[in-house]
């Protein structure tokens, strides 16, 4: 597999800019309750997860109790209140994928990434593994999504090739970094 993996880099600029973006979002969507979910979605794009203090700030700006914002953020599967890895690997667990035996894929991924039961993100913050409900790519079952790119008809072998490619890209990037120094 030679296609490059799409990586959404964490915002490279200072955290201050990211925070500035949150206030912009409040202004853009308006400080009303119905804007809460879109603001949380965009805030998560900025921070890649939803830190507590950012949720409190959004609550303050929208005049909502922090518990309510926390309640909404923990209701929807899309929101993460913990930092996630650079590569988020979502294995679809829809019916079609299940019927076409995605369990083997999941166990091989777990063992390759060294994730224990209940653990989602590797300690080096490189990968997060999520088992997600149907992504609607049933005709391509079993399907896997890595940072918004869909991979269809996955097998353990194909998965290995994709991860090897990511590792190669990462190693090259690390090498570049060293040269610069």
> Is residue 35 a contact residue for other proteins (CB under 8 A)?
yes
Nearest in space to 49 (alpha carbons), one of 88, 91, 7, 106? 88
- CA dist 51 and 69 (Å) reads 12
Q: Which positions from 160 through 179 interact with other proteins, judged by CB under 8 A? A: none
Q: Which positions from 84 through 113 interact with other proteins, judged by CB under 8 A? A: 93-96, 98-101, 103-105, 107-108, 111
- Please answer whether residues 89 and 127 qualify as being in contact, where contact means their C-beta atoms are separated by less than 8 angstroms: yes
> Is residue 149 a contact residue for other proteins (CB under 8 A)?
yes
DSSP designation for 127: E
Judged by CB under 8 A, which stretch of 34-42, 121-129, 165-173 contacts other proteins?
34-42
> Is residue 82 a contact residue for other proteins (CB under 8 A)?
no
In angstroms, the Cα distances linking 117 to 45, 50, 74 are: 27, 23, 21
Q: Which is nearer to other proteins, 76 or 175 (CB)?
A: 76
Judged by CB under 8 A, which stretch of 30-38, 119-127, 163-171, 173-181 contacts other proteins?
30-38
Q: Which two tokens stand for residue 100?
A: 């076409």
> Is residue 74 a contact residue for other proteins (CB under 8 A)?
yes
Judged by CB under 8 A, which stretch of 29-37, 119-127, 161-169, 173-181 contacts other proteins?
29-37
Judged by CB under 8 A, which stretch of 19-27, 120-128, 162-170, 172-180 contacts other proteins?
19-27
Nearest in space to 143 (alpha carbons), one of 78, 84, 77, 99? 99
Residue 139 Cβ vs other proteins, minimum distance, rounded to whole Å: 3
Among 25, 40, 91, 162, binds other proteins (CB under 8 A): 40
> Is residue 119 a contact residue for other proteins (CB under 8 A)?
no
* Helix extents (H) in the chain: 15-29, 36-47, 52-62, 66-75, 95-99, 103-113, 156-180
């Amino acid at each position: 597999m030679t296609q490059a993996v799409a990586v959404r880099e964490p915002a490279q600029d200072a955290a201050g800019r990211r925070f500035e973006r949150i206030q912009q979002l409040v202004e853009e969507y308006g400080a009303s309750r119905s804007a809460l979910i879109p603001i949380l979605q965009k805030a998560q794009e900025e921070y890649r997860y939803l830190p507590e203090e950012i949720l409190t700030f959004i609550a303050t700006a929208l005049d909502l109790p922090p518990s309510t914002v926390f309640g909404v953020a923990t209701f929807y599967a899309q929101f993460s209140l913990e930092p996630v890895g650079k590569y988020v690997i979502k294995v679809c667990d829809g019916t079609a994928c299940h019927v076409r035996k995605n369990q083997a894929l999941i166990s091989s991924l777990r063992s390759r990434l060294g994730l224990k039961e209940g653990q989602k993100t590797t300690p080096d913050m490189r990968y997060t593994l999520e088992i997600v409900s149907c992504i609607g790519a049933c005709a391509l079952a079993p399907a896997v999504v890595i940072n918004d790119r869909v991979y269809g008809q996955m097998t353990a072998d194909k998965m290995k090739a994709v991860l090897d490619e990511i590792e190669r890209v990462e190693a090259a990037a690390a090498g570049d970094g060293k040269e610069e120094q």
